[in-house]
Amino acid sequence: MASAANGLIASEDNNVSLIELLQLTNSIRATTNDKIGGIQKITNTLRMLALNAMIESARAGEHGRGFSVVAAEVREIATAVGAIAEQLQADLATQIHRLSDRTETMAKAAIGSRLVDLALNAIEIIDRNLYERTCDVRWWATDSAVVDCAAAPTPDAIAFASKRLGVILNAYTVYLDLWLCDLHGNVLANGRPGRYAVRGLNVAQEPWFIQASRLSSGDDYVAADIATSKGLHGAEVATYAASIRAGGEVHGAPLGVLAIHFDWAPQAQTIVKGARIEPEDKDRTTVMLVDAQQRVIASSDAINTLNRRFPIETSGKSSGYYANGDGATVAFHATPGYETYKGLGWYGVIVRR
């Protein structure tokens, strides 16, 4: 994470430098216009003085002829200086305009790159977090109380397994509940029976159970998409499942499925709201996590998640940024995964209005 943090700091420094360069460019433009305007005022004054001198020399007749020559020379010099000033103004205006355009382009690129870094940071944090969930479910599926209950679900075994799952929940507060299911999808025991009366609930049609019942070993796991769970009072959960096997062995005979329900909403909100957005930019910046179906599964504005979709114009790239139809900058980065967790095709997304 140190390298990522250094990258953000470097981006911030570059961004500040480019803003200063833009300010300097605008200052040079203003100074140039002011000074050239001053030169043009002087040349106009010289022209008027030369004209008046020529008029007076004409009145003086023969005695003013020499002065008339000097007045003509002054007028020519004034005209030449005026022409040089106009050409200088035109040349500098073109060059300053090009400099300004290029600086603005560089500034936008720097801001876009920094937003991509922030999008990556958000998705990396969730990836590492969810990797730990995949480790948890595979480990707890080998717990002797869980294995014994799945093998012989007697009342005593169920009570002990429920108690054991409750102990785990007390230590791991990021979970809503843990469910021990038999091979037919019936919930035999859970860790919080007093809060969630799910014992006897059949989950055979749940996608996570169907996939978990087909796992080839205890080393494998299922990571389900974010969904609301009726058994958990409609809470948004990330469900992870692993097969329970005889003797807790990796290749033991399948006995059931252990499902762990990650309390998604508060954990995800902590990540999207914790992004390093400058205070002056927070009101015009939204941080989101978007799944492979383009659903908004977390958003710093907390508006209608799961029912909202945000199509990302990736152009086949895993990361990048672009301006959308509303003129906002959209930065994105696909899940890189972590260790054995490959990710589910999610994206970290930053929208800067």
Instruction: Say which residues have a Cβ less than 8 Å from residue 46's Cβ, sequence separation at least 6.
Output: 74, 75, 77, 78, 81
| pLDDT tens, position by position, 71-116 | 677 667 767 776 776 777 777 777 767 776 776 777 677 788 899 9
pLDDT score of 309 more than 90: yes
* Span 34-55, average pLDDT: 72
pLDDT score of 3 more than 50: no
Is the pTM here over 0.85, yes or no? no
| pLDDT tens, position by position, 185-197 | 999 999 999 999 9
Strands 222-223 and 227-229, bridge-based pairing = unpaired
| pLDDT tens, position by position, 210-222 | 999 999 999 999 9
pLDDT score of 329 more than 80: yes
Element containing residue 350 per DSSP (H, E):
strand 347-352
* Span 30-37, average pLDDT: 74
Position 325 confidence tier, pLDDT thresholds 50, 70, 90: confident
Phi, psi angles (nearest 5°) of residue 107: -65, -45
Contact of 4 with 124, CB cutoff 8 Å: yes
Position 266 confidence tier, pLDDT thresholds 50, 70, 90: very high
Q: How many CA atoms lie within 13 A of 147 on its CB side?
A: 17
Instruction: Say which residues have a Cβ less than 8 Å from residue 264's Cβ, sequence separation at least 6.
Output: 226, 235, 236, 237, 238, 297, 298
Q: Which two tokens stand for residue 71?
A: 């007045």
Strands 329-334 and 347-352, bridge-based pairing = antiparallel
Contact of 40 with 82, CB cutoff 8 Å: yes
| pLDDT tens, position by position, 208-257 | 999 999 999 999 999 999 999 999 999 999 999 999 999 999 999 999 99
Q: How many CA atoms lie within 13 A of 204 on its CB side?
A: 7
Which pLDDT belongs to residue 67?
63
Which pLDDT belongs to residue 4?
37
Which pLDDT belongs to residue 50?
64
* Span 323-333, average pLDDT: 91
Which pLDDT belongs to residue 12?
46
